[in-house]
Structure 1
């Protein structure tokens, strides 16, 4: 239960990060077209990078690259929340993700 609960939380954090990028893109874009492009392109690009380098089944990655991508994605998601004038949510998200990833790593809970 402990393993799957933490892995589920990690997966949900990944989905939330994608949602944050979509929200940030929508709020940051000027025209409606730019808003739509950013709201779709940012999460899509993030998902592609994640799938290539940070996913558990990523074929062409190293531990350092995997962690670099995770830190960048979750850190940028927290920064995006901060820039959307939700600093407590941004910090809380990053702290929750950091704790979850630390538990997964130290307890060897990787799938």
Structure 2
């Protein structure tokens, strides 16, 4: 069961990167479109790797929460802006459940 929660957390994180790229593509035009579509998920991944990943180099609890809220919350808002409110709601629920469950597994590894 632990693997299920970790998979849910991981899939919501990957989905967030895809959504940020899609939103960047739709929000931009010309060369800016390419920059947003590539830059947003790369920036999100760099921030996640630095602060929110399990093996993050910088272990700052408030920054970890802030980055997760920024990336996952930004993806939810982006999905809603793309005209997909039900998908946004689903991503929001999956992100909260996955992040909460995976955090509990980190705090209580024997479960």
- Report the TM-score, using the length of structure 1 for normalisation: 0.88
Ranges of 4+ aligned residues in structure 1 off by more than 3 Å: 106-110
Computed over aligned residues only, the root mean square deviation of the Cα atoms, in angstroms, reads 1.5
Q: What is the distance in 2 between the residues matched to 1:42 and 1:6? A: 26
Structure 2 SS opposite 1:20: helix
Structure 2: give runs of 5+ residues left out of the alignment: none
The equivalent position to 2:96 in structure 1, one of 98, 103, 106, is 98
* Aligned residue in 1 for 2:67: 69
CA distance in 2, matches of 1:57, 1:73: 18
CA deviation profile, 1:59-105 (whole Å, cap 9, x unmatched):
21222211111111111100000111111111221111101222222
Q: Look up the match of 2:56.
A: 58
Q: What aligned pairs does 1:1-111 form with structure 2 within 5 A after superposition?
A: 2-31=1-30, 33-107=31-105, 108=107
Q: Distance in 2 between matches of 1:24 and 1:105?
A: 28
Larger relative contact order (CA 8 Å, sep ≥ 6)? 2
Which secondary structure state, in structure 2, belongs to the residue aligned with residue 30 of structure 1?
Answer: coil
Q: 1:89 to 1:109 in 2, by over 3 A?
A: farther
CA contact (8 A) 2:72 2:95 kept: yes
Alpha-carbon distance between aligned partners in 2 of 1:80 and 1:67, rounded to the nearest angstrom? 19
Distance 1:109 1:74, change over 3 A: farther
Secondary structure (helix, strand or coil) at the match of 2:50 reads: helix
Normalising by the residue count of structure 2, what TM-score does the alignment of the two structures yield? 0.88
